[in-house]
Structure 1
Amino acid sequence: MSRPRKRRGGCLSILILLLLAAALAAGLLWQRYTEFADSPIAGLRPGTTLVVRQGDSLPVVLRKLQDLGIGGLQTYEWTALARQMGAAGRIQVGEYRLEPGMTPRDLLEAMRDGDVIQHRVTIVPGWNIRDLRAALAKADPLVHDATGLSDADLMAKLGKPGQHPEGRFLPETYVYTRGDGELDVLRRAHGAMEKALDAAWRARHKESVLKSPDEMLTLASIVEKETGIAEERPAIAGLFERRLRIGMRLQTDPTVIYGMGTRYDGNIRKADLTTDTPYNTYTRAGLPPTPIAMPSVEALQAVANPAPGDALYFVAVGDGSGRHLFARTLAEHQRNVQTYLANYRAARAAGR
């Protein structure tokens, strides 16, 4: 009877030892696993980025990391961590920043949540379509999918065939990610302008002389080009509206300059003011046929609610401030012109 009991005791001891060994091994594996998950990835250099493309699996991402000079990558460790974090099969497309000190857990979390690098491009108020397209052509890493398209083809690509592109893109800063193209940015900017223009048109004052949102956009573009002083915009908008109401020509230099196109060399001469083009508001009454620039939201709002008054003329102060002098009569305006000339000459004499 004693010998079987000894065999059972020996088996129990072996079983306990095996369990202890398994627990120790599991503990060591867990320690190694947690050290792997939360230790900085070796070999990361400042400014390095990882691009994940459509269809890239975790093994493909690991090969890309190896191509970036990062060694010692164990697929089974990354796979186990990805499963634990819910990142397996959920890696999102995009460009990711790799900085020294980043851990595998940090990187998998970023790829799971789509925490991609965001780039920015700014459309400046007062730019024309040539300025805008030139800026987008230089933006990196934006995909240049509008290069080579005519303005007409561009608008057709945006779903607006036949629409003139001038003034149709809202000036602001747009965020994009690697893989986005010029058309993506332009589509968003066009939609933003449509929304801003619709809001301004619905908020316009009841006595507005403007007959359509397109006319509002055109007048706002002129106001945008006439002044960089925010508080002056409603006054200038009101002045132009009064001119339109009484049939007086707008006589605004920015429209003449726009009509000159690439012939404009920074100076506007008397011959330019008398040379007729569809945009010469000295030779033609009413608004020009299209906007002449990209107006800001503030310019749209100024045209929707212009300042009241009786001024019909304005001229720059001439002191470099960018401000203007307003006048009700031609005689008063001519005195303001003399003030402008005196200030301008004094500024030049002072080297300003």
Structure 2
Amino acid sequence: MLIGVPKEIKIGETRVSMTPSLCRRCVSLGGNVVVQKGAGESAGFTDAEYRAAGAAIATTAQKVWRSADLILKVKEPLEAEYGHLREGQTLFTYLHLAAGAELAKVLLKKRVLGIAYETVEGVDGQFPLLKPMSQIAGRLAIQIGAYFLQSQHGGSGVLLGGIPGTMPGHVVVVGAGNSGAHAVQMAVGMGARVTVLDLDTRKLEALDIEYRGRVVTLMSNPANIELAVASADLLVGAVLIPAAKAPTVVKKKTVAKMRPGSVIVDIAIDQGGCIESIHPTSHESPTYRQHGVIHYAVPNMPALVGRTSTIGLTQATEPYVAMLVQKGVARALAEHKGLARGVNTQDGKITYDAVAKALGYS
């Protein structure tokens, strides 16, 4: 098997899908690896390190895509990459097809076997390849929110931790999954007042126990959301339904009640976002203002910390990549139900129910 590692081209993307360590593992299992020149530089990995690990270095993306049986990426292919895709190829990456109808059409037309990181399941029914990026995005959401709350960025000038004699900033996190829980952790660590909302009482109970009452936990319903968001200095949207389009849980009329200069960070933007007033932004132009509120919605947020994100991601993907190399794609999918759950497109069809429903194929 020949594994291709193209350089990511999404704006501001600094991650790479394979470290030299993972490359060495693939080569030891009998795989061949071709890495595009400079693919790992933004994450701190040089071409020389990949060569030493047994990879060949290709000068162009076309050479990587044209020759590889398995394309290993971080982000979904962009329009400029659609022409590289070909029938019989396997693509292993974050696909987020529920918010990517055009890419879905291309994958179906070209009969690409698309395996999505975000729907691969572990033995516990969790999503091990989504987890590290969700953790990073959750932590970054607070860091980013604190930055844009600063007066020189047009924010309300609130210091999340406050000082003695002043009220600390109020952080509201909607969704208590991986990303939401890590957002809560960072916000509490900075000394903010924190309110978290979720539909799952078990998650709320776990956070209440962990923080011993320092965090206000509320059931996620329209009344509680409206009450909490109206007083938020920083609102973090962290609602996830795996592979499906994120539900809209915060309405525009609720956002309009926030104080001017408040900040929204929507981690769910990869899946369409969970806040009605949100639309995707980029690292080059990360924010916009609506209703006087600063909105941040960069789909590849973890690229802000490319090295940490790359290491975290590839540590999670390594067992699955190794399985594909060692056993071949067909056998690996047949023998590992969790990896097979990652298949979103195959033989010109959408094979994951939530994606098919979101795109109108079911």
Instruction: Give the TM-score normalised by structure 1.
Output: 0.21
**Greater length-normalized contact order (CA 8 Å, ≥ 6 residues apart):** 2
Structure 1 or 2: larger helix share? 1
Q: Greater strand share, 1 or 2?
A: 2
